[in-house]
Amino acid sequence: MTFASMWADLEPVGRASSGGYRRFALTREDHTLREWFTGEAQARGLDVVTDRAGNQWAWWNAGPEPGIVIGSHLDSVPDGGAFDGPLGVVSAFAALDSLRAAGFTPSRPIAVTNFGDEEGARFGVACAGSRVLTGAMTPDRAKALTDADGISMGEALGSQDIGPDPEMLGRVGAFVELHVEQGRGLADLDRAVAVGSGIWPHGRWRFDLPGEANHAGTTRLEDRHDPMLGYAQLVLAAREAADRHAAVATCGKVRVEPNGVNAIPSLVTGWLDARGADEQRVRAVVDDLRTLAESQGGRVTEESWTGLTPFDGDLAGRLATLLDDAPVLSTGAGHDAGILAAAGLPTAMLFVRNPTGVSHSPAEWAEETDCLAGVAALARVVQDLAS
């Protein structure tokens, strides 16, 4: 059960024609990935538990005291890369293998975890599994979320119920999530591994722009109420506002009704992802766009928000020193580690170099030598924390 063999087992699951992956929550692909996780855990004699929010945990040396938890997620964005999420889970199992091969006996419990629906690709809210686990999102709100086909999370869950799990959270003494870097920080520094310092504030907003459905060929331009024009203005304004307020903003998803080539839309719904180094910058971007949308008769709804999330400073410093003065980087990407940190748990992250700097794309990449360096770093961290 080497790193390479585990990676090869995961490679075909959810592979799309684009070369990327479509591994969405509560789908056949998700079920296959969860079965893979259970199989890898059982092959190592670990105790597999699913918490009340649907996240998977595989415990080694399970005991009453809080343990060291490592891992990440296995789901993806639409046509996403292979490394975002799975690298952290595969590396966690590989790190345990390395420690066992060296004869290490932990004095604290250690767990590998697979958080559910981290990307929010199907139901629209990122880190749903960890949000429900910690109580950051209520079960009722989670179950009411719907996918593009109008299927709610509650319907997709079927008879399975979800809710916060304070008992499982109480078993977490510290959480360290390894993740491929989603930028060029390490490539520019020419280092294989870094320690995370925290996550930028970020959120998602929905813009509903009403119009009037009409015939594309017989309706005069001056008689049209076309919400697609307003949406086009919003997309351009998002870029301008982000530049003006030193933030980043992305309009990456849109839904048009009735979605006909020869029909003027009756409704355009678009989604905004906005992030920045501080909350004021992000809110300024959204406020500018809100003013524009409301001037067009539109409505803006905040679907998720995560404030500035620093990781445990003492833990990050300890890890950086342990890993030969590894660089310490912040990130604009959200992670389950951020949700656990916001819930008050000691949390840290390790990043593995991505030479392309590209993520959420089939071009996402990490060299095998860097992946193995990440495994070695994670093993050193676990040995230090669990001794």
- Residue 299 CA: distances (Å) to CA of 34, 97, 295: 38, 52, 10
| pTM of the shown model | 0.89
Topology alike, domains 3-200+308-385 and 202-306: no
CATH topology of domain 202-306: Alpha-Beta Plaits (3.30.70)
Contact 110, 67 (CB under 8 A): yes
Give 350: exposed, middle or buried? Use CB within 10 Å, 0-12, 13-18, 19+: buried
Distance, CA of 171 to CA of 56 (rounded, Å):
13
Query: Between 1.10.10.10, 3.30.70.270, 3.40.630.10, 3.40.50.300, what CATH number should domain 3-200+308-385 receive?
Result: 3.40.630.10
Domain boundaries, the chain: 3-200+308-385, 202-306
**How many residues would you count in the chain?**
387
* DSSP type of residue 155: H
Inter-residue long-range contacts of 320-325, CB under 8 Å, 24+ positions, other chains counted: 320/195, 322/380, 322/381, 322/384, 323/193, 323/195, 323/350, 323/377, 323/380, 323/381
Q: Would you state the pLDDT for residue 178?
A: 98
Extract the tokens encoding 118: 């981290």
Sign of CA dihedral 235, 241, 244, 245: negative
Tokens 């319907």 -> residue: 155
Distance, CA of 284 to CA of 267 (rounded, Å):
26
Q: What is the pLDDT along the chain (387 residues), one digit of tens a residue?
A: 799 999 999 999 999 999 999 999 999 999 999 999 999 999 999 999 999 999 999 999 878 899 999 999 999 999 999 999 999 999 999 999 999 999 999 999 999 999 999 999 999 999 999 999 999 999 999 999 999 999 999 999 999 999 999 999 999 999 999 999 999 999 999 999 999 999 999 999 999 999 999 999 999 999 999 999 999 999 999 999 999 999 999 999 999 999 999 999 999 999 999 999 999 999 999 999 999 999 999 999 999 898 999 999 999 999 999 999 999 999 999 999 999 999 999 999 999 999 999 999 999 999 999 999 999 999 999 999 999
Q: For residue 137, how many other CB atoms are within 10 A of its CB?
A: 22
What is the rounded (10 degree) CA torsion for 98, 99, 100, 101? 50
- Residue 173 CA: distances (Å) to CA of 108, 148, 259, 383: 9, 38, 50, 14
Helices 28-43 & 3-10, crossing angle to 10 degrees? 160
Q: Report residue 178: phi and psi, to 5°.
A: -90, 140
Burial pattern 241-260, b for ≥16 Cβ within 10 A else e, equals bbeebebbbebebeebeeee
Q: Report residue 17: phi and psi, to 5°.
A: -65, -20
Contact 207, 289 (CB under 8 A): yes
Q: Rounded to an integer, what is the distance from CA 9 to the centroid of its chain?
A: 22
Contact 361, 81 (CB under 8 A): yes
- Residue 51 CA: distances (Å) to CA of 59, 144, 193, 310: 13, 20, 31, 25
Distance, CA of 374 to CA of 354 (rounded, Å):
12
Q: Would you state the pLDDT for residue 268?
A: 98
